[in-house]
Amino acid sequence: MAATASERSLPCLFLHGASAGAHLILALAVAGSRLFPRRGKDTAVAVGGFRCYAVAACATWALAAFQLLLAAYSCYLGAGAGWPLDAVVEQADAAARAVAWLLLAAYLQFEFRREERFPAPLRLWWALFLLLSVVAVAVHAATSLDGLPVPARSWALDAVSVLAAVVLLVAGLFGKSELAGGSASEEPLLDGASESDSADASAFAGAGLLGVLAFSWMGPLLAVGHKKALGLEDVPELDPGDSVAGLLPSFKANLETLSGDGTPCQRVTAFKLAKVLVRTFRWHVAVTALYALVYNVATYVGPYLIDSLVQYLNGGDERHARKGQLLVLAFIAAKVFECLSQQHSCFRLQQVGIRARSALVAVLYEKGLALSGRSRQAHSSGEMVNIVGVDADRVGNSSWYIHDLWLVPLQVGMAMFVLYSTLGLASLAALGATAAVMLVNVPSVKVQEKLQQNLMRSKDVRMKATSEILRNMRILKLQGWEMKFLSKIIALRKTETNWLKKYLYTSTIITFIFWSAPTFIAVVTFGACVLMGIPLESGKVLSALATLRVLQESIYNLPDRISAIIQTKVSLDRIASFLCLEEFPTDAVQRLPIGSSDVAIEVSNGCFSWDASPEMPTLKDLNFQARRGMRVAVCGTVGSGKSSLLSCILGEVPKLSGVVKTCGTVAYVSQSAWIQSGKVQENILFGKQMDSEKYDRVLELCSLKKDLESFPSGDQTVIGERGINLSGGQKQRVQIARALYQDADIYLFDDPFSAVDAHTGSHIFKECLLGALAQKTVLYVTHQLEFLPAADLILVIKDGVIAQSGRYNDILSSGEEFMQLVGAHQDALAAIDAIDVPNGASEAFSSSDAASLSGSLPSADKKDKQNVKQDDGHGQSGQLVQEEERERGRVGFWVYWKYLTLAYGGALVPFVLLAQMLFEVLHIASNYWMAWAAPASKDVEPPVSMYTLIYVYVALALGSSVCTFVRALFLVPAAYKTATLLFNKMHVSIFRAPMSFFDSTPSGRILNRASTDQSLVDTSIANRMGSIAFAFIQLGGTIVVMSQVAWQVFVVFIPVIAICLWYQRYYIDTARELQRMVGICKAPIIQHFVESITGSTIIRSFGKENQFLSTNNQLMDAYSRPKFYNAGAMEWLCFRMDMLSSLTFAISLIFLINLPTGIIDPGIAGLVVTYGLNLNIMQVTLVTSMCNLENKIISVERILQYLSLPEEAPLSMSEDGLAHNWPSEGEIQLHNLHVKYAPQLPFVLKGLTVTFPGGMKTGIVGRTGSGKSTLIQALFRIMDPTIGQITVDGVDICTIGLHDLRSRLSIIPQDPTMFDGTVRHNLDPLGEYTDNQIWEALDHCQLGDEVRRKELKLDSPVVENGENWSVGQRQLVCLGRVILRRTKILVLDEATASVDTATDNLIQKTLQQHFSGATVITIAHRITSVLHSDIVLLLDNGMAVEHQTPARLLEDKSSLFSKLVAEYTMRSTRT
pLDDT tens for each residue of 1398-1428: 667 777 777 777 788 888 888 876 676 777 7
pLDDT surpassing 60 at residue 278 = yes
- The residue among 1180 and 503 whose pLDDT is bigger is 503
> Which pLDDT score is estimated for 651?
85
The mean pLDDT value for 941-953 works out to: 80
The backbone region for 222, taken as left when phi is positive above 0, alpha when psi lies in -120 to 50, beta otherwise, is: alpha
Whole-number Å distance between alpha carbons of 397 and 356: 9
Between CA 862 and CA 483 the distance in angstroms is 27
Given a cut of 80, whether residue 783 has pLDDT beyond it is no
The region of weakest confidence among 254-258, 496-500, 681-685, 886-890 is: 886-890
Q: In 109-179, where do the E strands start and end?
A: none
How many whole angstroms separate alpha carbon 797 and alpha carbon 632? 13
Give CA angle at 664 (659, 665), nearest 5°: 110
Report the alpha-carbon distance of residue 1053 to residue 1055 in Å, rounded. 6
Q: Where are the beta strands (DSSP E) in 1183-1336?
A: 1228-1235, 1245-1252, 1257-1261, 1283-1288, 1291-1292, 1305-1308, 1317-1318
d(CA 457, CA 463): 10
Residue 1226 pLDDT greater than 80, yes or no: yes
pLDDT digits 0-9 by tens, 631-646: 898 888 777 888 888 8
Omega cis (within 30) before 858 = no
For residue 906, give every residue at least 6 positions away whose Cβ sits within 8 Å of its Cβ, in sequence order, or none. Answer: 900
Phi, psi of 3, deg, nearest 5: -60, -40
What local confidence, expressed as pLDDT, does residue 936 receive?
Answer: 65
* Alpha carbon distance 710, 1244 (integer Å): 11
| Span 401-447, pLDDT tens digits | 888 878 888 888 888 888 888 888 888 888 888 888 777 777 877 78
pLDDT at residue 34 in the model: 40
β pairing state of 631-636 and 793-798: parallel
Q: Fill in the DSSP letter of residue 968.
A: H
Rounded (10°) CA dihedral 5, 6, 9, 10 = -140
Q: At residue 613, what are phi and psi to the nearest 5 degrees?
A: -115, 120
Q: Which of 1025, 1020, 1013, 1024 minimizes the C-alpha distance to 987?
A: 1013
| Reported pTM | 0.68
Q: Which residue has the higher pLDDT, 538 or 1204?
A: 1204
What sign results for the dihedral spanned by CA atoms 697, 703, 709, 712?
negative
Mean pLDDT value of segment 502-529: 82
Give the C-alpha separation, 13 to 663, whole Å.
76
Cβ–Cβ contacts within 10 Å for residue 1072, how many?
24
**Strand pairing of 1415-1419 and 1257-1261?**
parallel
Per residue, the 3-state secondary structure of 1417-1439, as one string, reads EEECCCHHHHHCCCEEEEEECCE
Distance CA 671, CA 753 (A): 9
Q: In what order do the strands lie in the sheet with 1305-1308?
A: 1305-1308, 1385-1389, 1415-1419, 1257-1261, 1431-1436, 1439-1444
Q: Is the pLDDT of residue 189 over 60?
A: no
Residues 334 and 332: their CA atoms lie apart, in Å, by: 5
CB 280 within 8 A of CB 186: no
The full length of the chain comes to 1471
CA quadruple 810, 816, 817, 822: dihedral positive or negative?
Answer: positive
Residues of the chain with pLDDT > 70, as a percent, come to 82
Distance between CA 570 and CA 552 in Å, rounded? Answer: 27
Q: How confident is the model at residue 831 (pLDDT cuts 50, 70, 90)?
A: low
Q: What is the pLDDT of residues 201-241, one digit of tens each?
A: 567 776 666 777 888 888 888 888 888 888 888 888 888 88
Distance CA 1059, CA 1052 (A): 11
Does pLDDT of 46 surpass 50? no
What are the contacts of 1040-1047 at 24+ separation with CB within 8 A?
A: 1040/924, 1041/924, 1041/928, 1041/1167, 1041/1168, 1041/1171, 1042/1148, 1042/1168, 1042/1171, 1042/1172, 1042/1175, 1044/1164, 1044/1167, 1044/1168, 1045/1152, 1045/1160, 1045/1161, 1045/1164, 1045/1165, 1045/1168, 1046/1148, 1046/1151, 1046/1152, 1046/1168
Distances (CA, A) of 1435 to 5, 733, 1123, 1416: 105, 21, 53, 17
**Helix, coil or strand: residue 553:** helix
C-alpha distances in angstroms, 504 versus 444, 499, 968, 1017, 1344? 12, 9, 10, 12, 49
> What whole-number distance in Å separates Cα of residue 607 and Cα of residue 613?
10
Cα-Cα-Cα-Cα torsion 754, 758, 762, 764, nearest 10 degrees, comes to -60
In this predicted structure, the answer to whether residue 484 has a pLDDT above a threshold of 60 is yes
The one-character DSSP state at 44 is P
Which of 604, 706, 705 is CA-nearest to residue 659? Answer: 604
> Which contacts of 153-162 are long-range, i.e. CB under 8 A and separated by 24 or more positions?
153/70, 153/73, 153/74, 156/70, 157/70, 158/133, 160/63, 160/66, 161/63, 161/129, 161/132, 161/133, 161/136, 162/130, 162/133, 162/134, 162/137
Task: Tell me the C-alpha distance between 218 and 800, whole Å.
Answer: 64
What's the CA gap between 683 and 552, in Å, rounded? 58
* Model pLDDT for residues 107-155, shown as the tens digit of each residue: 777 666 545 567 777 777 877 888 788 878 877 777 777 667 777 777 7
Please give the average per-residue pLDDT across 243-272, as a whole number: 76
Residue 1431 pLDDT > 70, yes or no? Answer: yes
pLDDT (average), residues 470-492: 87
Confidence of residue 989 (pLDDT cuts 50, 70, 90): very high
C-alpha span between 319 and 1296 (Å, rounded): 92
Note the pLDDT of residue 490: 92
- As a whole number of angstroms, the distance between CA 726 and CA 688 comes to 23
CB 445 within 8 A of CB 468: no
Residue 1159: per-residue pLDDT: 67
In this structure, how many other beta carbons lie within 10 angstroms of the beta carbon of residue 253? Answer: 14
Q: What is the DSSP letter of 936?
A: S
Q: How far apart are CA 248 and CA 270, in angstroms?
A: 19
Looking at residue 1004, its pLDDT comes to: 74
Alpha carbon 1047 to its chain centroid, in Å, reads 50
